[in-house]
Structure 1
């Protein structure tokens, strides 16, 4: 019972002491967290710079730490314990986002849909940040490809060309 009361207190304190999630021009947000997707999991880091009341640009990078080796046949070739190289595990993107906290009327929650242009595809993302204090919050983000580059006929080309889910900590700089 003590644990439940403590948890309820912390959650209610976090919501009552919440801070503004996106302030507009000059605002800098940094996200660090886990990236979860089919065939691998890893880390994600991003930074967003506010350009206006509801607009930001930024950069995001992913690196897959846990990827299964491939055994079998692919495009008429046999592979035995084939490992992905750095290029298969890493992706970097430039992105733009529409920050909608002032539009939806909830200052503590920044919902941000946007577009990204990366090393492996042109895609989109939808995310949300909630700040408990002026400098610390949490984020979650969904990413998806819209147009993939090249023929995508490599064994590990699917790793950076699929739906992704990320969550972690967000910092206000």
Structure 2
């Protein structure tokens, strides 16, 4: 029983020091799963605080597990390719991003942050809405919804739609 009380006291103190976004100079690293139609993959992102509620950063996604038709391509009965195999350039995306960290504006718990933002990627101009919750001063969880606003190409093939469609990221976030 004494051990349980000591552990509870330590956790209470560590939770009290957690802060989701501290403004200028704040640095966050996030790693998680990327979930989208026909693929699952890995997402990495880094954000740097420029002001009380503004941060900029980079984000990268790579589609690891893709549907069979994108992995092998699809040919019709005459041997003509109808769906191309997804290559590295289809699976990978790199984004420059801008966030408005509004958790403190909404006067939510200091361990919780909401951040809508915009991104310029290799595939599109898009937006995202994310949320972070910190359990300690250095570790938390995040989730993020990403969506394209304008694609750089028209009439995308199924392989080109990877990282160029609505997706959800979820994983761990770290204060640096």
**TM-score scaled by structure 2?**
0.84
Q: Which runs of 5+ in 2 are unaligned?
A: none
Counterpart among 108, 111, 125 of residue 108 in structure 1: 111
Aligned to 1:56: 55
Matches within 5 A, 1:38-77: 38-70=37-69, 71-72=74-75
Closer/same/farther in 2, CA of residues 14 and 62 from structure 1, 3 Å limit? farther
Counterpart among 72, 88, 99 of residue 97 in structure 1: 99
Pick the structure with more strand per residue.
1
Q: Which 4+ stretches in 1 moved above 4 angstroms?
A: 13-16
Aligned to 2:15: 17
Aligned to 1:129: 132
Closer/same/farther in 2, CA of residues 167 and 42 from structure 1, 3 Å limit? same
Matches within 5 A, 1:135-150: 135-150=138-153
Aligned-residue Cα RMSD (Å) equals 2.3
* Count of residues in Structure 1 that have an aligned counterpart in Structure 2: 161
The structural deviation recorded for 1:160 is: 1.7
Closer/same/farther in 2, CA of residues 153 and 165 from structure 1, 3 Å limit? closer
The answer to whether the 8 A contact 1:124-1:144 is kept is yes
Measured in 2, the distance between the counterparts of 1:163 and 1:14 equals 37
Q: Which runs of 5+ in 1 are unaligned?
A: 1-5
Larger CA deviation: 145-154 vs 116-125: 145-154
